[in-house]
Amino acid sequence: MGYCTVEDLRRILMENVKIGDQNIGTPSPGRPGNQGSGRSNISPEEAERYISYANQYVDARLRPFYQCPLRRIKSFEADLLSDATPGTDITVTVHDSGSFIRGQLVRLQNKYEMETSFVVEAPTLTTVVLASVQNTYTAVEQSKLSVIEYPDPVPLTVARLAASFILDRLFVAEQAPDVSTYGRTQRNLARNAVDDILAGEVLLFGQEHTGRRFVRGSLIEPFKSPAEIQRGEEREG
């Protein structure tokens, strides 16, 4: 679908902008106007399309230095200390569950099988509850539980860009200015993050390089780019 999820987008958007399929409001009795309505502002399908637009922007900026589209990587891996059997809401034990967050995509694997699942919760310092498991993974087989995600800060950057596109569309429909202040702020924060990646301040871990920025300087001449990166050139005042 993209570098971020619709749920990531919901976390960036303000509370009164709703993503969903509810087209008929549910007004509260005794409250005037449309207050209390549960009407959605944008559908999940439209939200995914705006995420796709944000993906295009990020890929276009990063392509001179990284192979795009980017790929998910293992950002953390832990050995299973208990067996995981087929079922739903399966609890597994690891040395440290601190890196596993609710809703996170994870991979279970051993020498013979592999599958993905989602984290329901991490109730203790050593246990993780998985949404579903299809196969059996035992500690004896040296089974592992890994976090699978796009490198930081790409998911947040794409979510900020997609949110800004949605906010500008909704804002123009009701206000005279052509952009919203919140949307402009989110775009500037996203562009700052992309600039940090292009400037070499942030490394996208686990990605294939297409440029020479990350090669040892003594092997080649000083780094050159077709377009010098000028910070602030795309900022919105």
**Strand segments (E) across 54-143:** 73-79, 87-93, 105-109, 114-121, 127-133
- pTM of full prediction above 0.75: yes
Residue with tokens 């539980």: 145
Model pLDDT, residue 128: 97
Identify the weakest region by mean pLDDT among 89-98, 119-128, 195-204.
195-204
Q: Could you tell me the residue ranges of all domains in the chain?
A: 6-25+35-70+152-219, 73-149
Condensed to tens digits (0 to 9), the pLDDT of residues 157-183 reads 999 999 999 988 887 766 556 677 888
Average pLDDT, the chain: 85
Query: Residue 235: helix, strand or coil by DSSP?
Result: coil
> What is the CA angle 231-232-236, rounded to 5?
160
For 207-217, the pLDDT digits (tens) are 998 866 666 65
Over the stretch 7-25, which tens digit does the pLDDT of each residue have?
999 999 988 888 987 654 4
**Helices 44-62 & 154-174 angle (0-180, nearest 10):** 120
> Domain 73-149 is in which class?
mainly beta
Under 8 Å CB-to-CB from 84, ≥6 apart: which residues?
90, 92, 108, 130, 133, 136, 137, 138, 143
> Quick one: which H or E segment has residue 54?
helix 44-62
